[in-house]
Structure 1
Amino acid sequence: MKAYVIEQPGGPEVLQLRDILSPEPTQDEVKIRVRAFGLNRAEAYLRAGKMGEITSPRVPGIEAVGEIIHDPAGIFRTGQRVATAMGGMQFSRNGSYAEHVTVLRNNVVSLDGTSLSWEELATLPEAYLTVWGALDKSLAIQKGQTLLIRGGTSSVGLAAVTYAKARGLTVIATTRNAANSQRLYEMGADAVLVDSGDIAQRVREIAPQGVDAALEVVGAATLRDTIKTLRPFGAVSVIGLLGGAPILEQFHLMQDLPAGVRLNFFPSGLFGTPALPLTDTPLPWLAKEIAAKRMPSIHTQTFAFDEVRQAHRLMESDRALGKLVVLL
C-alpha cells in the first residue's frame, strides 16, 4: 500500500510517499480502507520531532474514515462505513496517512446509516470525540449552561462551538484576530471576544456570575485568566496547547484557583480504553445532524492524497479556520 512515512524530523518536505506492507489484523484489530482523514497538530508535532526521537520510519495520522476490509472477529462487516481515532496510531502502530490502516477494534465507530460524504465524515472523529469527552465526560455540560471556549477558531474549537450549541448551551468564544469573529458567529457562537490574553473581566460582563464551564484550547498561556471566568464550582477542561508548553510556572493553588473551581486535562488517548469506551459516542448522530443541515460543518478545505505536504503548510499557517481533510 502507499503511505506517507517520516524518517527524520523536519518540515513538510520530510513527508515521503512510500510503498509499505499493509499489516494484517490480529484478533482484537480490524483493517480499514482509508477513504479520507483529517489533519491534526499532533501530526505536525510528530513530523517536527516534538513528540520524541524518530528512530525508525513512522506513518503519521491519528484519525480516519473508511470501509472495513477485514475484521477477524466478524463484529464489523466487510464494506461497513466506520471512523477511527487514536488507539496508538502514529505512535505504537502505523497512522492513517495511508491507503489502509490496521487499528484496535475498540477504537472503531460504525457510521452506518449516514449519507454524509467522506470528506465531511473525515472532519468528525478526532475533533468531535475530543469535544464529547471534554464536555460530556469531564465537564458534564447541561442544557442552559454557559460555556467559554478559549481558542475558538481552531478546528476543535469550532467543533466545540457547534456541538455545545446543538446541546443547548450559550457559547462565548474567543479569537486572537477580530477578522475571524464572523466565522465563530456563523458556527453558532452567542458572543465573540478578541483575545488579548486578559479577558476575564469582559467575560464577567457577559456572564456576571461566571460561566458554568470552560474549554481551554490555548493551554497554559491563558489558563490562569480562563479560571477567573468560572462561577464557584464551575469547571475548566484543557484540551489544547496552542499557546506553547504545558507548564504553569509558580501556580498557587489558593491564589490562582478560585473557590470550588475544578481543573482537568482531557487527553484523547483515553478513546477506546475501559475509562472511555466508544460505545455511546455521538459521531453517528453528528453525521446525521450535519447531513440534515441542522448543524454547520467545520470543513474548510480538501486536499488530494499527493497534496499532504501542502496541507501541512496550510495547517501550520493558522489560516485554515476549520478542519483540513485529505481525500483518497
Structure 2
Amino acid sequence: MKAVVLSQTGAPEVLQVSEVPIPGVCNGWVLVKVKAFGLNRSELMMRQFEGDAPYIQLPRILGIECVGLLEDASDSHFKKGQKVIALMGGMGRSFDGSYAEYALIPTKNVFAVDTDMNWQELAVIPETFFTAYGSLFQSLQLKPADVLLIRGGTSATGLAAIQLAKSVGATVLASTRKESKRESLIQQGTDHVLIDDDTLSKQLSNLYPHGIDKVLELIGVSSLSESMGFLKTHGIVCVTGILGEKSTISNFYPIKDIPSGVYLTGFSSNSPNQQLIDELFAHIKQFNIHPKAAKVFSLEEIAIAHQMMENNAANGKLIIVIN
C-alpha cells in the first residue's frame, strides 16, 4: 500500500509517499481502508521535532484520524464495508496512523457513522468537530442564551465551534490576531469579531461591560488568565487547544489565579465513544450543518499540505483524499 512514513524529523519535504506492506489484523484491532483524513498540528509537531523524543519510535506513519470503509472486522462487532471514522487512541504516535491507504486501528477508536456525506466533507469531522462539540456541549454546557467567546476563532476547531454554537442560537464572539480574517469569521456566522491584541479586553468590555458567559480557549494557557477575567460570576472557560504552543503553567495557584465564582474546565478528545459520536452526527443532521474543508490535497501532495499548515495559511481544515 501507499503510505507516508516519517523516518526523521525535519521540513515538510521529509514526508514522502512510499510502498509498505498492508498491516495484518489481530484481535482487538480492525483494518480500515482509508478514504480521507484531516491534518492536525500534533502531526506537524511530530514531523518538526517530537519524533526525536524518547517516547516516539521512528519510522512511523503519521495521522491521528481518518474516515473510510471497514476492510477487515477481525473479532469486532463491525462488518466489512461499513462507513467508519477513527480518531486518537495513539494513532500516528504509539502505532502507525492514517497517512496511508490502510490503517490498523484499535476497535475502541473506530466508530460507525450513518451519513451520506462525501469523503471530503466527512473528513472534516472526526477530530475537529468532535473536539468542538465536546468542548461546547459537554464541558461548557452551552445554552442558546449564552454569549460565547472563541479564542483562536480562525483555527479549524474554532471555525467548527462557530458553526455548532450558532446552530443552537448562542451569541458568538471570535478572536483573531489578523484583521484580514475578520470577513471570513463574519461569513462563518460570528456575531462580533475581536482582534486579539493588547486591546482585546477593552474591545470586549465595550460590547459586554458586565462580562460574558463562556469562553472556549483554543490558544491555551498563555491567554487563560485573561480569558478567565472576561467572565461573569458562574461563567465557564474551557481549555481545549494549545495554539499558543504552551501547554503548562508554572506556579499555578488556583485559589488566587481562578477568579471567585468562575469555573475552569477542559476537554480532551483522547477518549471518544460511540454515544458522543452519535450525538455529534445527530446534531449535524438536525441543524443541517455542512463542514467545509479549507483545501483538499492528494496523498502525494502531503508535503505541500504540511507546508501550508506550518505557514498558518489555511482558514480551516486541510484534507487529504485518497483515490
TM-score (norm 2): 0.92
Q: Using the alignment, how far apart are the partners of 2:290 and 2:184 within structure 1?
A: 11
Structure 1 residue 15: Cα displacement: 1.2
Partner of 1:161: 162
- Using the TM superposition, name which of 42-51 and 184-193 deviates more: 42-51
* Aligned partner of 1:324 among 306, 318, 323: 318
Partner of 1:66: 68
Partner of 2:296: 302
Partner of 1:174: 175
* Contact 1:83–1:125, Cα closer than 8 Å, also in 2: yes
* Aligned partner of 1:288 among 247, 271, 285: 285
What is the letter of the counterpart of residue 306 of structure 2? H
Structure 1 residue 286: Cα displacement: 5.3
Matched residue SS, 2:79 = coil
* Contact 2:16–2:302, Cα closer than 8 Å, also in 1: no
* C-alpha distance after superposition, 1:240-293 (max 9, x if no partner): 11112223344443443211212233222222xxxxx23232343355368xxx
What is the letter of the counterpart of residue 15 of structure 1? L
Q: Using the alignment, how far apart are the partners of 1:68 and 1:160 within structure 2?
A: 29
**Cα 1:254–1:279, aligned 2, differ >3 Å: closer, same or farther?**
closer
* Contact 2:86–2:126, Cα closer than 8 Å, also in 1: yes
Structure 1 residue 8: Cα displacement: 1.1
Partner of 1:314: 308
Q: Using the alignment, how far apart are the partners of 1:296 and 1:42 within structure 2?
A: 25
Matched residue SS, 1:300 = strand
Partner of 1:183: 184
Q: Using the alignment, how far apart are the partners of 2:127 and 2:198 within structure 1?
A: 27
- Using the TM superposition, name which of 229-238 and 154-163 deviates more: 229-238
Q: Using the alignment, how far apart are the partners of 1:69 and 1:11 within structure 2?
A: 33
Partner of 1:274: none
* Aligned partner of 1:75 among 66, 74, 77: 77
Q: Which runs of 5+ in 2 are unaligned?
A: none
Q: Using the alignment, how far apart are the partners of 2:37 and 2:286 within structure 1?
A: 20
Partner of 1:223: 224
* C-alpha distance after superposition, 1:131-164 (max 9, x if no partner): 1221222222222211110000000110111111
TM-score (norm 1): 0.91
* C-alpha distance after superposition, 1:52-72 (max 9, x if no partner): 245421111011000010112
Partner of 2:90: 88
Partner of 2:6: 6
What is the letter of the counterpart of residue 34 of structure 2? V
Partner of 1:34: 34
What is the letter of the counterpart of residue 163 of structure 1? L
Q: Using the alignment, how far apart are the partners of 2:207 and 2:143 within structure 1?
A: 19
Partner of 2:107: 105
Q: Using the alignment, how far apart are the partners of 1:283 and 1:18 within structure 2?
A: 35
* 1:118-157 aligned within 5 A: 118-157=119-158
**Cα 1:255–1:202, aligned 2, differ >3 Å: closer, same or farther?**
farther
* C-alpha distance after superposition, 1:96-140 (max 9, x if no partner): 00000111222222222x221101110000001111221222222
Partner of 1:25: 25
Q: Using the alignment, how far apart are the partners of 2:206 and 2:252 within structure 1?
A: 26
Q: Using the alignment, how far apart are the partners of 2:176 and 2:290 within structure 1?
A: 19
Q: Using the alignment, how far apart are the partners of 1:327 and 1:36 within structure 2?
A: 4
- Count of matched residue positions in the alignment of Structure 1 and Structure 2: 319
Matched residue SS, 1:268 = coil
**Cα 1:34–1:304, aligned 2, differ >3 Å: closer, same or farther?**
same
Q: Using the alignment, how far apart are the partners of 2:151 and 2:119 within structure 1?
A: 29
Q: Using the alignment, how far apart are the partners of 1:198 and 1:258 within structure 2?
A: 21
What is the letter of the counterpart of residue 288 of structure 1? K
* 1:199-238 aligned within 5 A: 199-238=200-239
What is the letter of the counterpart of residue 20 of structure 1? V
* C-alpha distance after superposition, 1:51-96 (max 9, x if no partner): 6245421111011000010112352221111111111101221110
Structure 1 residue 197: Cα displacement: 4.4
* C-alpha distance after superposition, 1:21-64 (max 9, x if no partner): 22233332221100000011010011112362454211110110
* Contact 2:16–2:303, Cα closer than 8 Å, also in 1: no
For the aligned residues, what is the CA RMSD?
A: 1.9
